[in-house]
Structure 1
Amino acid sequence: MAYLFLDDSKHHRSGFSLAAFAICDADPAEEMGTLFLKHGFDPSTFEFKSSASMKDDNDLQALRNSLKSFITRNCKMALCVVDSADDTKNLGPASLALLRNALKHPQLKGGQHKVFFDEGLFKHKSAAEALTARDEDFAGCNFYFEQDSKAVMGIQLADIMAHTCSIMLLEALGVLSKMVVLDLPGDSIYDGLEVELGFEMWAGIRYAFLSQNKRNPKDDFDLANVDVYPWGLFIDESVNERIAPVVMERFGENYLGCIH
């Protein structure tokens, strides 16, 4: 059984919204609660939000880093992208289309799964239930719509994923350009190196993308790349012709080789 949690990140000015599934083998709530307490936050009252200001808040930054490390160790990620003009209409159905693709991945195929959706992804809970009822593609899924992300902590992992991928896409579209200095533990040779923000975001989450090895790699570089599309990426038909190819180029495949 897998636990899947969906949250979104909206960017109306840039013409897109996206949603990400955090896919876990077990309910992450207990271990997440332990991480919250370790960094001084009460999981019964505090909710992690990637959009929150973290400048000069060392405890919150440390919690964010711990949650990202948790994702790297324990989670896979799949994402869908829609046009932002009517994302309330498109995000829910697009996430279900993404789920159909993800369920064909060997890691999920044929299993029994619990699928949790944050609030506001569908116009009505009844509409969401109508889209999934008696659908054979979802026969192995138990759905939980309109969930409170404070109570269902896995949704907070999906929040991190959606925020991270949004930053990566904004940079790929040329909307965002920012350099950051790496602050790495130990004696890493990369500590203090200045890199693009999108690169830092990708480097920290690249192993989480739901993907499969290429069937016929052409060379060693191709061998180091995996295919994310279609299992871990769905691009809705509403996405315009300027943004759609950028989404595919940024997320359709993923490099897992050495980056030094």
Structure 2
Amino acid sequence: MAYFYLDDSKHHRFGFSLAAFVICDTDPTEHIDSVFRKHGYDPEEFEYKSSAKMAGDRQLQALRDALKSFIGRQCKIAVCVVDGDKRLGPAALRLLSSALSHPSLEGQTHKVFFDEGLFQSRKVAAGVADRNVAFGCCEFHFEQDSRTHLGIQLADIVAHTCSTMLLETLGHVTKKVILDAPGDSGYDGLEVELGFEMWAGIRYAFLAKNKQNPKDDFDLANVDVYPWGLFIDDSVSEDISNATMERFGENYLGCIH
């Protein structure tokens, strides 16, 4: 069984919204609760939001880094992109349908949790889901509170991270950061693009498969994320569709020294 959690990040100004699933082999609630408390936060009173101001807040930054580390090591992720936000829910279901065909998820039962506001109502959402026979293996939970289901807060991190990566690919983000890495890694103090820093922390988490017929060693180091871990809705513009495929369609897993 896998546990799926979905949240979104809206960027109307730039012509897209992005939703992301975090996929966990087991219920992550106990672990996330422990991470929160370790960093001085009570999960019953505090909700992690990527939109919160983090500059100068080392405690909140440390919590974010710990949660991202858990995602990068223990979870899989899948993303979908739409124009506006009214199609986010249906697009997420299309993404889920593709994800369920991945060999690591086939033939199992799953629990799927959606954040609030992705459908007009639970009834509408259930009606859409019922029309897809591939979802017979899923127990759906629509319109869920992220304070109750902490896995949705992981999805918030991934949606924000992947949206920033896409914004950079589109040319809207040009920020660079100085890496704070272990001294023996060769990266400490290195200036890199923000999108690269974000990608490096989650690159092993994308739901993907090895290429069928790699052309060379570089191709061998890349895996195909599309279609299992990526869905692009027909509503998006050609420019955004192309940028999304460029950013997420395949993923490099080779050495980045």
- TM-score, length basis structure 2: 0.98
Name the counterpart of 2:249: 252
Looking at structure 1, the residues matched to 30 and 120 of structure 2 have their Cα atoms a distance apart, in angstroms, of: 31
Q: Given residue 112 of structure 1, which amino acid in structure 2 is its aligned partner? A: T
Partner SS, residue 244 of structure 1: helix
RMSD: 0.8
- Does 1:110 pair with 2:107? yes
Looking at structure 1, the residues matched to 107 and 133 of structure 2 have their Cα atoms a distance apart, in angstroms, of: 12
Deviation, structure 1 residue 56: 1.2
Identity of aligned residues (%): 69
Deviation, structure 1 residue 189: 1.1
Name the counterpart of 1:2: 2
Name the counterpart of 1:143: 140
Q: What's the CA shift string for 1:17-49, capped at 9, x where partnerless?
A: 010000000110101111101100001111111
Name the counterpart of 1:166: 163
Name the counterpart of 2:20: 20
Deviation, structure 1 residue 186: 4.2
Partner SS, residue 160 of structure 1: helix
Partner SS, residue 242 of structure 1: helix
Deviation, structure 1 residue 248: 0.5
Q: What's the CA shift string for 1:228-252, capped at 9, x where partnerless?
A: 0000000000011111011001100
Looking at structure 2, the residues matched to 134 and 220 of structure 1 have their Cα atoms a distance apart, in angstroms, of: 43
**Counterparts of 1:1-260 in structure 2 under 5 Å?**
1-84=1-84, 87-88=85-86, 90-133=87-130, 135-260=132-257
Looking at structure 2, the residues matched to 19 and 185 of structure 1 have their Cα atoms a distance apart, in angstroms, of: 32
Stretch of structure 1 that moved more, 249-258 or 52-61? 52-61
Q: What's the CA shift string for 1:143-193, capped at 9, x where partnerless?
A: 000000011000011011100000000000001110100011343210000
Q: Which blocks of at least 5 consecutive residues in structure 1 are unaligned?
A: none
Instruction: Report how many aligned residue pairs link the two structures.
Output: 257
Looking at structure 1, the residues matched to 132 and 253 of structure 2 have their Cα atoms a distance apart, in angstroms, of: 35
Looking at structure 2, the residues matched to 103 and 7 of structure 1 have their Cα atoms a distance apart, in angstroms, of: 18
Deviation, structure 1 residue 124: 1.6
Looking at structure 1, the residues matched to 18 and 237 of structure 2 have their Cα atoms a distance apart, in angstroms, of: 14
- TM-score, length basis structure 1: 0.97
Partner SS, residue 184 of structure 2: coil
